[in-house]
Amino acid sequence: MTQTDWPARARAVLPGGGFGNFDPSITIREGRGSRVWDEEGRDYVDYLIGSGPMLLGHGHPEVLEAVIEQLPKGQTFFANNAAGIELAEVICAAVPCAEQLRYVSSGGEADMYAIRAARAFTGRDKIVKFEGGYHGMSAEAQMSLAPTNRLNFPQAQPDSAGIPQSVADEMLIAPFNDAEFIRSLLAEHGDKVAGLIVEPLQRIIPPAPGFLQLLREECDRYGIVLIFDEVVTGFRFAYGGAQDLYGVTPDLCTLGKVIGGGFPLAALAGRADIMAHFDKSAVGAERWLMQLGTLSGNPVAAVAGLKTLEILRRDGQYEQLRANGRRVMEMMTRALDAEGIAHRIVGDETLFEPVFTATDPRDYRDVQSADAAASARFNAVLRAEGIFKSGGKTYPSLALTEEDFARTEAAITRAAQALSER
């Protein structure tokens, strides 16, 4: 079997030829530091970094040492383990809203349980989410994630088959960054809303000044559980996450990616009175929120997460991460400006993407109205030039080197030139 047979082999046994996450035409063989290699031996500077978790880079020696020390002691127990308890202590000490937490294995699970916890706590059914916001694969999360039709707000549109209409009936969809719409929506429906879930930075779109504070105030006004989906932003934007950076504390937050150090681990964290619904002895059988997970709090993931967070607490780590991201953002701006290509670099220094538009995007529809063909061409040239990233996000890491930056700048320059040649 030759190296180039991997996509064909995948098509035979995997729907769509892949895992459902990324371009199945490429099969990654290994990652080390800031680089990944495909099965054909090509190497790339990695700005995908596993869709975010490999903030320290691949195979960080201290993380590997912690994992190797744990492996002979056992891979999983379905019972409490000391590393999992210690990691929970570290997270609760770091994240402003986190008084207690519950482990799951994926960010999507955490978001699903956050929505369920809000309903259990309030006794209400309706959930508010923002059009284009990503919160995993639950039925609620698959409402108006990537709608192809522009329905009138707050009508929900399912993005997947197999979701009953009854789910859509309990979802209220709002445009991100629209303060007046949220005020109006909650004035009409607030007493029926259990929770409002939001990415503090929606995909790559920053919150408008005061918008997150407004959400906090409106949720307090109507007794709604405010949920920050920090699966991406947690321990990336700052050690305490986006809620620390932006100075707005939700009632619940969801965490994943970075906290597992590259292993499957996620968590729901928040106020103790809400988290008490996971404890039958505290709330009684009728209000109990049942949650089980074979690998929840897995000790291998926990030790990897502990070491990752220990490294992130060291002096200068976030300053370096932001400097790395700022450097790449400036490369994009210089190259695209030099070719006279209308664009905006949208996001945060730790997570961003060029959007090919002449106006500042404020919500999902603004991003969708940008030049998608230009984005696809730009990213295709980057891939051909040895830059590994998704078509919608650029994730800098702490592992980037001067050689990586030189290669990145050359690739960005070539990609910008390719756009001007269209």
- Residues designated catalytic: 134, 229, 257
Q: What is the dihedral of CA 118, 120, 126, 131, to 10 degrees?
A: 30
* Alpha-carbon gap, residue 141 to 345, rounded angstroms: 27
Q: CB under 8 Å to 251, separation ≥6 — which residues? A: 97, 219, 225, 226, 227, 270, 271, 274
The number of angstroms, rounded, from the C-alpha of 379 to the middle of its chain's C-alpha atoms is 20
Contact in structure between 102 and 76 (CB atoms under 8 Å): no
Count of CA atoms in the C-beta half-sphere (13 A) of 308: 33
Label each residue of 175-195 as H, E or C.
CCCCHHHHHHHHHHHHHHEEE
Candidates 120, 136, 132, 182; CA nearest to 157 is: 132
Q: What is 30-69 written as a DSSP string?
A: EEEBTEEEETTS-EEEESSGGGTT-TT-BT-HHHHHHHHH
Write phi, then psi, for 391 (nearest 5 degrees).
-85, 0
Q: How many CB atoms lie within 10 A of CB 395?
A: 24
Contact in structure between 260 and 67 (CB atoms under 8 Å): no
* Alpha-carbon gap, residue 396 to 209, rounded angstroms: 25
Candidates 345, 340, 367; CA nearest to 421 is: 340
The residues facing 23 across adjacent strands are none
* Alpha-carbon gap, residue 207 to 289, rounded angstroms: 32
